[in-house]
Structure 1
Amino acid sequence: MVKLIRSNNVYITLLHRCKYSTVPKSISTIHINGKDFKSDDYSNITPKILTYLGRNLHLQKGNPLSMVRQRIVNYFYKSFTHRGNPIFSIYDNLSPIVTVKQNFDDLLIPLHHPSRAKQDCYYINKDLLFRAHMTAHQSELLRAGLNNFLMIGDVYRRDEIDSTHFPVFHQVDAVRSQRKEELFNSNPDLEIFEPSFDTKKPKVLNDITDSSKQSCHTLEATKLMETQLKSHLIGLIQALFGKDIKYRWVDAYFPFTHPSWELEIFYENKWMEVLGCGIVRNEILAAAGPNNSIAYAFGLGLERLAMALYNIPDIRLMWSKDSGFLNQFANKDVDAKITYKPISLYPQCVNDISFWLPNDLTIDTFMSNDFYDLVRDIGGDIIEQVKLKDKFVHPKTKKHSVCYSIVYRHLERTLTQFEVNKIHKEIEKAVTDSYNVVIR
């Protein structure tokens, strides 16, 4: 039995005797993977998002994400060894359910930072969420005594809907830390920390107003780590795209690293950002245990790399179970040169939806990401794109109206306008019931 109910401005599907289900807010619990979690005003997990849990595309042999993942692992295994053994450890099956502390607090992300907003994250409740980045596991692995590791898995962010955005994607994050004797093995007179830095109070926030380094670090330590970091990541990109790939570094800001950079490559006649990186804030290292080392970290998205490497035009294809897609990657060497060949170019169906907002909502306060989640819950993966087409304020009544275009396209067959219209009517009813709007 499948029943749609309204809960917390989101349609919740109750799938009886199904592996994934959620429970109405009135029962105050959300059931995920056999466990019950308390719900509250933060809860915004949708039924569709629950269906992606446990798919682990990065571990599915023959999936392009798995192939890119293995190429990255191979690079680090080959490039970093000690006495013939790889020094990087791999963690690719960590639970996607993390605490707010793990996802934000441990990484020095400010309380009012926009990345914490319900608009951007999938919250189970005010204390738990689906990780928004693999860096959420960084502190726990540092506390476990690890100093060189890769974290690989699925991450969850509420976002727009188009060919390059999906609410679930896959990241590789890494940390490499070194003590003084490792970093300056050929120059033991140099130090990681400035003489003025109080090593007895390593958790105190240090100044980052100097764009070249953190106040606690010496310039020599920072520059040497920067050189290593950039050299290692250029090597990785060249291993993936070839020695002739054009690249450039761009200064960036992340709450958990300083200084920070983004690496861009020249792809299809334009610059494309492929990863972010930087020197880990010393407060994070000290809070996790190692207060006598310096570290770099980076994070990259597997989907973006796979789409560029194999010319995959639509991010939804990563989730396809169609043999026509998967067979192009099955039983292939991970370093094979593969160019995706479309199975078929099925036509789009485009329907617009316009509605008047209730008096308590305006164009500025209506959250498009809530609407996108609702559309995806009902339309599923045949939703190719949702884009805001028009905004309007009635000159007399001052009522606000919005219009969205919804692009429908199935990846494996032709959709009929009849079935699209049926789904579109369900979306109209859902948005009417959820937000008390009036369809125009």
Structure 2
Amino acid sequence: FYGKVLSLKFTNVVIMMGSSRLSSGRYLPLIALIRIIFLSSSCSHGFVVRCPTSFGIRISTSLCGDSSDATDTTSTTSFASISVELEDARTAALEALERATSVREAEDVRVKYLGKKGIVASAMGYMRSLPPADKPKLGSVVNVVKDTLESAVVSRKSALEIEEVNVQLEKERIDVTMPGLPNLTPGKRHPLSMTIEKACEVFVSLGYDTVTALEDSPEIETDYYCFEALNCPKDHPARDMQDTFYLTEDMETLLRTQTSAVQIRQMETRKPPFRIVSPGRVYRKDDIDATHSLIFHQVEILAIEKRGELTLGHLKGTVEYFLQQMFGPDIDVRFRGSYFPFTEPSMEVDVFFRGKWLEVLGCGMVDPNVLEMAGIDPMEYSGFAAGFGAERFAMVIHGVTDIREFYNSDNRFISQFPHFHDDGMISHLVGGNREERKKAMNALGIETTESDMPFTSLTEVADGSTSTALTRDQSDPKPGKEKKKKKKKSTSSDAVVADIDISKLDIRVGKIIKVWDHPDSDKLFCEEIDLGEEDGPRQILSGLRAHYSAADLEDRKVLVLANLKVRKLAGLESKGMVLCAASEGGEKVVFLDVPKGAEVGERVTFKGYEGEPATPNQIIKKKLLDKIFPHFVTDKNGVPTYKGVTMETIAGLCTSSLPNCEIS
């Protein structure tokens, strides 16, 4: 201790000796020892020992010469001495920054001098003991020193960061002339890419041309090609089935909702006969979940030949052959009647796969109106079209239960899928558990490792049948204990659409109280219709100007489909649809007549079809209009019916002047 003290320089030292059980006699030798030590040291001022007065020792005892020179630090501290100390600290800090060789060392210097407990901050503690006239001076000196050091720290840190980056770049420099590293794991084709490519290969083998060029298949489309030319005018209810991303306020430019627009462009530019297959990306507003996405892929075909050379039988044969190539030669195929605006007749196609029927695509004979819109004479030519979603196909074939897996860029997911071979899709051979998948893939010449199989089939044995679904491996946290299966709770949404029938449509009696021409469409009326709602009348747009005058509509009671999603027609919102009967081809359109005495706001009924209406979103997602409207027609007496059941109000039957016609 003595040797260390002699090597130090002290300015002012105060030794505080508190109360102790030691007697005053024991303090005196200690004080004498301290006196000897500091008399031998290079002390520039004085040293004061403060002891309890009860020991009989003076409060202030000089250890370095005369007691008159010994003072407390607070009494000897002056503005001049503090300024000198700050200048010394500034110089020392700048020198330390120059010596710093890393950003971390520079940060340590900053903390030492500029931190909350640093030297510069400590200097401010002397402010209380200074005379009032010196306090502003001290503040000014502290600020100058602080600003100088902060600027120096920032500058030095920046220089050191650049040096560190340069060192790292030099250290990690890549020699491009060196040979590549062996045994790198190659990438694998994405299951969506494989599905689309295989589908196109099948149709190319049947004489179809692939259309993928940007100028022939633009993703930014016009309303005409995406809807109107496909037999969907602006007031057509089928537009409610697709929520569209519009890019302009006039709603004339949009992100295409279907690749069917490519068919119109090809019919305009190609001379029949021809056959095309068009894969592409499409966009729809939707809630992202396990089965829905904002962006997905479609593949569509179109064949146009001389009238009579292509029949419904040719379409069914083409579809069956395609599905056999994709799912295997023994696949069972089922055709069901359906509705699409651009084909007539229309069908949906199911396959019996892994123990159940699954819907995979839609098809039909091209509607003559579509041919005529594209400049092809429907009396001379006819054709058929079909289309499917690539994600839907891949999910069914591979047993993937969540569409989001296709877009998460997880190479573990992508790498597990087998390749296509000349005999078609092989994925139907690769069901079952992890080991079965590996054996099947190895038998086909595809080597697998553990890293290739991070996703596996989840096998559920409920009634003796096995269903497969790809999922991440999850080990049982408690081996030996059987996991309890959670019973899936049915939601109100599932219950509403479990049985699809006319009760899912909310059809109400309304009264037109105001009507005017749409300012931007020569086909549309704008109407205010009272449905007895607290919010007041609704604005509804109807394409009736070719069939009625505005005077015919005022004060008229009509039937309104009220649970449709709000949509814009030619720039104006429409909050429902007025129901009418229409002759074949739409030459004649008439209102459904409401019996006298029917109350405004009353919901019509169909005996035997009681239930709560679906929500607007459910109508779109479940394609309820597609499934209900084909059975919603007028009978031979003009009475609106659903599967033979008449539509009624409390005042009696609804009627119309058009028998045996569709209702829309």
Q: 1:322 aligns with which of 383, 386, 410?
A: 410
Query: In the alignment, is the contact (CA less than 8 A) between 1:62 and 1:330 conserved in 2?
Result: no
Is 1:274 the equivalent of 2:401? no
Q: What is the letter of the counterpart of residue 255 of structure 2?
A: F
CA deviations over 1:399-437 (Å, ceiling 9, x no partner): xxx9xxxxxxxxxxxxxxxxxxxxxxxxxxxxxxxxxxx
| Cross-structure match for 2:255 | 130
Amino acid at match of 1:233: V
Of residues 175, 179, 183, the one that matches 2:302 is 175
Q: Tell me, in whole angstroms, the C-alpha distance in 2 between the residues paired with 1:345 and 1:114.
A: 46
State the Cα distance separating 1:268 from its structure 2 match: 4.1
CA distance in 1, matches of 2:365, 2:198: 24
Amino acid at match of 1:111: K
In the superposition, relative to structure 1, how do residues 102 and 260 fare at CA in structure 2: closer, same or farther (>3 Å)?
Answer: same
Alpha-carbon distance, 1:329 to partner:
3.5
Higher Rg? 2
> What is the deviation of 1:228?
0.6
Q: Which amino acid is 1:112 matched to?
A: D
Any conservation in 2 of the 1:92–1:151 contact (CA below 8 Å)? no
The whole-number CA distance in structure 2 between the counterparts of 1:270 and 1:280 is 30
Please say which of residues 225-234 and 337-346 is displaced more in the overlay.
337-346
| Greater displacement, 309-318 / 321-330 | 321-330
The residue type paired with residue 69 of structure 1 is: I
Q: Does 1:95 align with 2:218?
A: yes
- Taking structure 1 as the reference length, what is the TM-score of the superposition? 0.51
Q: Which residue of 2 aligns with 1:143?
A: 268
Cross-structure match for 1:302: 390
1:163 maps to which of 275, 287, 290: 290
**Aligned partners of 1:290 and 1:300: how far apart in 2?**
25
Q: Matches of residues 329-344 of structure 1 in structure 2 within 5 Å?
A: 329=417, 335-337=425-427, 341=456, 342-344=471-473
Counterparts in 2 of 1:78 and 1:61: CA distance versus 1, 3 Å: farther
Cα distance 1:274–1:330, how it changes in 2: closer, same or farther (>3 A)? closer
Tell me which stretches of 4 or more aligned residues in structure 1 moved more than 4 Å. Answer: 330-334, 364-369
- Conserved in 1, the CA contact under 8 Å of 2:395 and 2:403? yes
Shift of 1:151: 1.3
Q: What is the correspondence of 1:199-218 to structure 2 with a 5 Å cutoff? A: none
Aligned-partner Cα distance in 1 for 2:401–2:213: 26
What code does the residue aligned with 2:339 have?
Y
CA distance in structure 1 between the aligned counterparts of 2:365 and 2:392, rounded to whole angstroms? 23
In the other structure, the counterpart of 2:239 is: 116
The answer as to whether partners of 2:419 and 2:426 remain within 8 angstroms in 1 is: no
Q: Is the 8 A contact 2:230 2:341 kept in 1?
A: yes
Counterpart code for 1:225: T
The offset of 1:272, in angstroms, is 1.8
Preserved CA contact (<8 Å) 2:188 2:414: no
What code does the residue aligned with 1:130 have? Answer: L
**Unmatched segments (≥5 aa) in structure 1:** 1-59, 81-86, 180-191, 193-220, 347-358, 370-401, 403-440
Alignment of 1:8-407 (within 5 A): 62-80=189-207, 87-91=208-212, 93=214, 94-117=217-240, 120-125=243-248, 126-145=251-270, 147-179=274-306, 192=307, 221=308, 224-291=310-377, 292-329=380-417, 335-337=425-427, 341=456, 342-344=471-473
What residue identity is the alignment partner of 1:257? T
1:161–1:176 CA distance, 2 compared to 1 (3 A): same
RMSD over equivalenced CA pairs, Å: 3.3
In the alignment, is the contact (CA less than 8 A) between 2:238 and 2:341 conserved in 1?
A: no
TM-superposed deviation, 1:92: 6.2
Question: 1:235 & 1:89 partners in 2: Cα distance?
Answer: 18
Between the aligned partners of 1:270 and 1:92, the Cα distance in structure 2 is 38
Q: Secondary structure at the match of 1:276?
A: strand
* Structure 2 unaligned blocks of 5 or more: 1-186, 432-454, 457-470, 476-533, 537-561, 568-614, 616-664
Equivalent position amino acid for 2:261 in 1? A
CA distance in 2, matches of 1:345, 1:232: 42
Asked whether the 8 Å contact 1:120–1:159 carries over to 2, the reply is: yes
- The Cα shift of 1:331 comes to 6.7
Offset at residue 134 of structure 1 (A)? 0.5
Q: Distance in 2 between matches of 1:118 and 1:176?
A: 26
Cα distance, 1:98–1:159 mapped onto 2, change above 3 Å: same
- Percent identity for Structure 1 against Structure 2: 32
- Residue pair 1:258, 1:279 contacting (<8 A) in 2 also: yes
**More strand per residue: 1 or 2?**
1
Q: CA deviation at 1:122?
A: 1.4
Secondary structure of 1:262's aligned partner? strand
Structure with the larger helix share: 2
Q: List per-residue Cα deviations over 1:330-371 (Å, max 9, x = no partner).
A: 87658443556234459xxxxxxxxxxxx979xx989799xx
Structure 1 residue 269, shift from structure 2 partner:
3.5
The corresponding residue for 2:487 is none
- Asked whether the 8 Å contact 1:63–1:330 carries over to 2, the reply is no
The separation in 1 between residues aligned to 2:376 and 2:194, in whole angstroms, is 33
- Per the TM alignment, residue 166 of structure 1 is displaced from its structure 2 partner at its CA by 1.2
For the Cα contact (< 8 Å) 1:253–1:260, is it kept in 2?
Answer: yes
Question: What's the CA shift string for 1:303-349, capped at 9, x where partnerless?
Answer: 11101111112100111211111222487658443556234459xxx
